[in-house]
Amino acid sequence: MTFFLQLIVTGLAQGMVYALIAIGFVIILKCSEVFNIAQGHFVLIGGYLGWTFLVPFHLPIWAALLASIGVAVVMGLLIERLMLRPLIGQPVLAVVMMTIALATVLGGLATLLWGAEYKAYHGLLPTINMTLGAISVPSESLIGLMVSVVCVALLMLIFKYTKIGLAMRATAEDLQVVQSVGIKATTVYAFSWIIACVVGVIGGILLGGVSGANMELANIGLKAFAVVLLGGVNSIGGAIVAGVILGMLENVAAGYLDPLLPGGGLAQVFPFFVMIIVLVFRPHGLFGLASIERV
Amino acid sequence: MGGRTGTFHENYTQDMALFGSGLHRGAIALLFIALFAGPFFLSDRMLTILTTMGIAVISVHGLNILTGYCGQISIGHSGFMAVGGYTSAILCAHLGWPFWAALPCAALAAGLAGLLFGLPSLKIKGFYLIMATIAAQFIIIWIIIQLRSLTGGTDGLLVPKATLGGITLNSKENYYYLVMVMVVLATISAQNIVRTRAGRAFIAIRDNELAAEVMGVRLWSYKLQAFFIGCIYAGAAGSLLVHYVRFASIEQFPFMDSVWYLGMLIVGGMGSITGAIMGVVALKVLDELVTVAGPILAAAVAPQAAASLALISHGVVIIIFLIYEPRGLYHTWEMIKIYFQVWPFSHQQTD
């Protein structure tokens, strides 16, 4: 029982980070109908940015966070303006290939700037230790939970009470109507990319603070897709719930089944099995809207 | 230039002819002679490059039928190549099958795997299908690692030398000829598949699924056919690759290869057989440029510059093509041809 609970708690920590990354994906998808394969690479850049500002620059944690967010904002603006805006109205494949190309360019930049090396900076993030009975709740799980909750709350406030948030929600609803009342869709797109970059970078700093920054961080993005599909591609709440579910399931499955399998590594491939099952049986996910095609 | 300024086909046979003009036929004949004569004056390194290019061409033809013609996007093509490669390797290494028998079995196995992972395409499309095929790639590789007793898991599997009709394919020249013959066969068969009833159905599905269905095209049947055919090419290419290296390992079939195959299609031009070949050649030449420029850059800038150059250059090339020439090199080539054909006029005579 302790083993099971430990797996659940570890899964919760991972799940919250998956959810945070998935939210960035969902926001871009809702506002601009772009499927952003490069979301995992924002996490990668975030992990390395965290190291850069904390270790060589010796910034305090709040300043490092602000600086990273600043870089993320610039990155989001540039990506939207240079890569995605020329492709407005192009078919799905062109847009998806663009984000894949973006992912490889970001991966290449990370290799160039940080040498694809393992950069550790644990101990620099604040730690909170807590034990529940026999199981210890890892500090990263608590911090991940708190940061995710704060981020989601902030996003909800932005969506609810700011003009740009309202414009974003409206764009998600109906692009043509939005344009006819004079809201600039390109501004909304730019803002959604900024949010996605910021969310990804924060996720990267969280993960980097736990396990160090390395090129593996980008693979988290692929797992986040399973989260997005399970939760429903256009539901932010769904992304959070699905993130937690998937994080737990992955850990429980790996904990109990890995000893039985010769090759192991079930945790790496588990999200893809979930993906296939969801796609076959419930393509719109748990909380997504089922799309109906009309002629 | 004595080119013709228009289409002057007078009957169906002329319209369906693969090689239109005498000039076209001459160019193809020259290409065949050059391909055949290649080993007599090319270095070993050039032969290796051409052989890997040929294997990629076979694979991309399959992806072109699936994605370029039928519109079903797949980013798991390298995984289907792995199915073919490992089937071939297992049949030859464990059961002692000859190469000529293992190759079609490998193609068939990959085709069946394609059918299996193509099933979700009946319900989903666009981005969802991309996700399903990415999942296929990772699941296939994971299953290969799990079947350790058959596939050798992460250690890989040694493949015996391929023999064909009493000839042992142990030299680069031998294998070059085999691959080139396969490339020619694959190109001709691909060109013909897209001209059949099924090929026209694929194009109809790509252009408008709903309209195709209303016209009586059975979506489920033709989508699965596209997956089957596309993956058969992948399986054959995987088998050729494994026998060329004489070793099967999961590192030969990475996820990024699936992405590059799609990139080759975009650079070359989707939905065009010539375009697929152009794309493969373009990206492989870029690969070689990177291999040459990498060490120079690594010495001048930083040791990791070589690795990052490969990633950044490929990404940037695909980005540039997506923005400035989404119809690919083939379209550019057509434009250049028309420019010279109609010169000194700026437009083609149409009636």
Answer whether A265 sits within 8 Å of B124, measured CB to CB.
no
Measure the CA–CA gap between B26 and B20, rounded to whole angstroms. 11
Backbone angles phi, psi at B158, to 5 degrees: -75, 135
Shortest Cα distance, chain B CAs vs residue A195, angstroms: 21
Scanning the structure block, which residue is given the tokens 């870089």?
A: A71
Task: Say which of A104, A112, A269 has its CB closest to residue B304.
Answer: A112
pLDDT tens string B76-121? 999 999 999 999 999 998 888 888 899 999 999 999 999 999 988 8
Tell me A290's DSSP state: P
Q: Please check whether residue A100 touches B, CB under 8 A.
A: yes
Residue of B143, B155, B148 lying closest to B249 (CA atoms): B155
- State the complex-level ipTM: 0.85
pLDDT tens string B214-240? 999 999 999 999 999 999 999 999 999
How many domains, in total, are found in chain A?
A: 1
Measure the CA–CA gap between A81 and B293, rounded to whole angstroms. 30
A vs B, Cβ pairs < 8 A, gives 134
Q: Indicate the SS3 state at residue A5.
A: helix
DSSP-assigned letters across all residues of B151-183? H-GGG-EE-PPPEETTEE--SHHHHHHHHHHHH
pLDDT tens string B259-280? 999 999 999 998 899 999 999 9
DSSP-assigned letters across all residues of A177-193? HHHHTT--HHHHHHHHH
Question: What's chain A's length in residues?
Answer: 295
List of residues 6+ apart from B264 with CB closer than 8 A: B56, B60, B276, B279, B280, B282, B283
Q: Please check whether residue A85 touches B, CB under 8 A.
A: no
Answer whether B311 sits within 8 Å of A116, measured CB to CB.
no
Residues of chain A with Cβ-Cβ distance to B302 below 8 Å are 112, 115
Q: Please check whether residue B72 touches A, CB under 8 A.
A: no
Question: What's chain B's length in residues?
Answer: 351
Residues of chain B with Cβ-Cβ distance to A96 below 8 Å are 73, 127, 130
Tell me if A225 sits within 8 A of A112, measured CB to CB.
Answer: no
Q: Please check whether residue A215 touches B, CB under 8 A.
A: no
pLDDT, residue B351, reads 47
B63 vs B127, which has greater pLDDT?
B63
pLDDT band at A35 (very low <50, low <70, confident <90, very high): confident
Tell me if A145 sits within 8 A of A16, measured CB to CB.
Answer: yes
Q: Please check whether residue B304 touches A, CB under 8 A.
A: yes
Question: What is the average pLDDT across A10-38?
Answer: 84
pTM of the model: 0.88
Question: What is the average pLDDT across B151-178?
Answer: 82
Answer whether residue A100 shows pLDDT above 50: yes
Residue of A nearest to B309 (CA): A108
Domain borders along chain B are 44-342
Residue of A90, A107, A225 lying closest to B266 (CA atoms): A90
Q: To the nearest 5 percent, what fractions of chain A are helix, strand and coil?
A: 75, 5, 25
Q: Please check whether residue A146 touches B, CB under 8 A.
A: no
Answer whether residue B2 shows pLDDT above 60: no
Answer whether A92 sits within 8 Å of B126, measured CB to CB.
yes
Residues of chain B with Cβ-Cβ distance to A233 below 8 Å are 127
- The answer to whether the peptide bond before residue A91 is cis (omega within 30 degrees of 0) is no
* Number of other CB atoms surrounding residue B130 within 10 Å: 25
Q: Indicate the SS3 state at residue A259.
A: helix
Segments forming the whole domain that contains residue A160? 2-281
Residue A294 maps to a domain: no
Kind and range of the H or E element at A132? strand A130-132
Answer whether B142 sits within 8 Å of A111, measured CB to CB.
no
Tokens of B284: 């492989």
User: What sign for the dihedral angle of Cα B225, B231, B237, B240?
Assistant: negative
CATH architecture of B44-342: Orthogonal Bundle (1.10)
pLDDT, residue B349, reads 58
State how far the alpha carbon of B94 is from the alpha carbons of A257, B111, B147, B152, B157, in Å. 29, 22, 14, 11, 10
Q: Please check whether residue A83 touches B, CB under 8 A.
A: yes
User: What sign for the dihedral angle of Cα B31, B36, B38, B44?
Assistant: positive
Residues of chain B with Cβ-Cβ distance to A109 below 8 Å are 308, 312
Residues of chain B with Cβ-Cβ distance to A115 below 8 Å are 302-304
Residues of chain B with Cβ-Cβ distance to A280 below 8 Å are 119-120, 123
Shortest Cα distance, chain A CAs vs residue B309, angstroms: 7
Shortest Cα distance, chain A CAs vs residue B341, angstroms: 31
pLDDT, residue B5, reads 59
Kind and range of the H or E element at A131? strand A130-132
Measure the CA–CA gap between A236 and A241, rounded to whole angstroms. 9
Residues of chain A with Cβ-Cβ distance to B122 below 8 Å are none
pLDDT, residue A294, reads 64
Residue A288 maps to a domain: no
Q: The domain spanning residue A55 has which CATH number?
A: 1.10.3470
Measure the CA–CA gap between A219 and B119, rounded to whole angstroms. 26
* Number of other CB atoms surrounding residue A147 within 10 Å: 18
Scanning the structure block, which residue is given the tokens 């299996």?
A: B116
The one-letter amino acid at B342: V
pLDDT, residue A66, reads 92
Tell me if B83 sits within 8 A of B113, measured CB to CB.
Answer: yes
Scanning the structure block, which residue is given the tokens 């269905």?
A: B213
Mean pLDDT score across all residues of chain B: 88
